[in-house]
Structure 1
């Protein structure tokens, strides 16, 4: 069990909370490389797919954006247009990366929530929240090139919608305590240290310190970004 009694008396703040213990399941090099690496690989695939000029995948009416047409024509003039034989493999790769982003986002959040009662520190909780947010944004980007696929597969679209809503809801909850004293700029003078239990941050919400930072609204923007998380899939 996590002892948060120090919230009512900061003089009782345990010295052990001042130290940050390693947590390779969340902040290990392999975990970070796995998350960031797959995200950048997904971005690379999206860039290549864009250069293919496959408007039938991004728009259901098969129309092309005039700006995209001019830009792609300019690029193709100097680099040449990629062969159409790569369209289907690219689409399958983007679909696989899209699935990966949802799974990794949900898995890191599940790992974080499961460790709350074990004393997961504030530092690692912030990593959990921001890695999951990074995965959700990357996944949202992949949907741009999967509209027609989901339009043709309503069952898969509904399953994806459920998973997206689950990810958005859990991520919004995870982001809430990161906006105030438990955010990236820890308030040491108030007994908040990177090694302090993240569970206590949820108890801290609504108290005099609040959970929305006074000097910035970045946490609000992160949560608002989740409101439109399912827009592309709904439009499909």
Structure 2
């Protein structure tokens, strides 16, 4: 760790990777215990959330029973408990990471901060999935939900800011694991000093090659932020009683209602000409695809697909980071 007060000098001369007890544990440079705890919590929440959705669907098909109801409530309570815990944990670890920027927190440990906060955020998304049908049942629950949304908004804003260095570290330029994360937030002359990297024997000038320190992996950042914002905006819509993302509301969109009217008109006035048959088949296919897309979009399956994407993406990020270090 560098002394307090980072400067551009620290971006070209830095020490080997040192343990960071606030991030990876006492005496550990790359311990997996902390990340493992986030993994277990995230995947337990996922299975509990999926189980609740399955039990709710079972009740809608075969009726409710005391056993199914108790199991559903237990899964809901487990997801909410895990999520509230992860909200506090995610904000805390991001605050700890930002406070250590001026102390020279390494790029590796910054990766750990972001990845753990990512799993916390995905876990918290499941809270609103589990309590989606209960948001408007009472004023007290609605106020608690608004407070949870405010906390989630704070967590997401902090996480998006923390994701900025990820575009550099996941580009074609290879940075040392002990490279200070502070440097990614400050563009300066250090990039010119670091623009030449030794590819072999440092005593031979011809073994030095120029690297692109301005390389930035925009697709990586865009994909990550898209997953966050889509899940967040979707859950904001749930606060409304007449939810815009529900199937029966989407069907009132003029394009969709108009397609249904045209489809009915074509079906009533169907002629035997080849052109009429082709038009009727094409329009019927379009109408079927449109309605099917709406049903999928407003279903729990689509919702869990995005949550699964977030979990898999976070798992890949942590796995790749640790594999690169080991």
For this structure pair, what is the TM-score category when the shorter chain's length is used for normalisation?
Answer: 0.7 to 0.9
Of the structure 1 ranges 93-102 and 27-36, higher mean CA displacement relative to structure 2 is found in: 27-36
Aligned residue among 133, 138, 158 for 1:148: 133
Q: What residue number does 1:201 align with?
A: 184
How far 1:196 moved relative to its partner? Answer: 1.6
Following TM superposition, by how much is the alpha carbon of 1:55 offset from its aligned partner in structure 2, in angstroms?
Answer: 8.0
Q: 37-46 or 222-231, which moves further after superposition?
A: 222-231
Alignment size in residue pairs: 201
Deviation at 1:170, TM superposition (A): 0.5
The one of 28, 40, 43 equivalent to 1:40 is 43
Aligned to 1:21: 18
Name 2:152's counterpart in structure 1. Answer: 164
Tell me what 2:316 maps to.
none
2:225 is matched with 223
Which residue does the alignment assign to 1:179? 167
Deviation at 1:179, TM superposition (A): 0.4
1:55–1:102 distance in 2 versus 1, CA, 3 Å:
farther
- Output the aligned Cα RMSD: 2.9
Contact between 1:165 and 1:230, CA under 8 Å: does it hold in 2?
A: no
Paired with 2:124 and 2:43, the residues of 1 have a C-alpha distance of 11
Q: Cα distance, 1:84 vs. partner?
A: 2.5
1:43-101 CA-to-partner distances (Å, cap 9, x unmatched) read 12113213312589xxxxxxx6xxxx6xxx8xxxxxxxx63322222221221112122
SS at match of 2:186: helix
Cα distance in 2 for residues equivalent to 1:128 and 1:149:
33
CA distance in structure 2 between the aligned counterparts of 1:55 and 1:172, rounded to whole angstroms: 38
TM-score when normalising by structure 2: 0.55
User: Over residues 176-224 of structure 1, what are the superposed CA-to-partner deviations in whole Å (9 max), with x where a residue is unaligned?
Assistant: 12102xx246834xxx42112111110039x8844732xx611111112
Per the TM alignment, residue 156 of structure 1 is displaced from its structure 2 partner at its CA by 0.7
The 3-state SS of whatever aligns with 1:217 is: helix
Q: Where do 5+ consecutive residues of structure 1 fail to align? A: 57-63, 74-81
The separation in 1 between residues aligned to 2:54 and 2:143, in whole angstroms, is 30
Counterparts of 1:65-80 in structure 2, within 5 Å, are: none
**Change over 3 Å in CA distance of 1:107–1:101 after alignment to 2:** same
* CA 1:221–1:123: 2 relative to 1, 3 Å: same
| 1:143 positional shift | 1.6
Contact 1:186 1:193 in 2 (8 A): no
3-state DSSP class of the match of 1:218? helix
Change (3 A) 1:86 1:223: same
If asked which structure has higher relative contact order (CA below 8 Å, sep 6+), I would say 1
Offset at residue 25 of structure 1 (A): 2.4
118, 121, 125: which one aligns with 2:103: 118
Instruction: Return closer, same or farther for 1:233/1:175 CA change in 2, 3 Å cut-off.
Output: same
SS at 2:161 equivalent:
helix
Match of 1:53 in 2: 56
What is the match of residue 85 of structure 1? Answer: 70
Please identify, of 32-41 and 142-151, the stretch whose mean Cα deviation from structure 2 is larger: 142-151
SS in structure 2 of the partner of residue 162 of structure 1: helix
TM-score by length of 1: 0.73
CA radius of gyration, larger in: 2
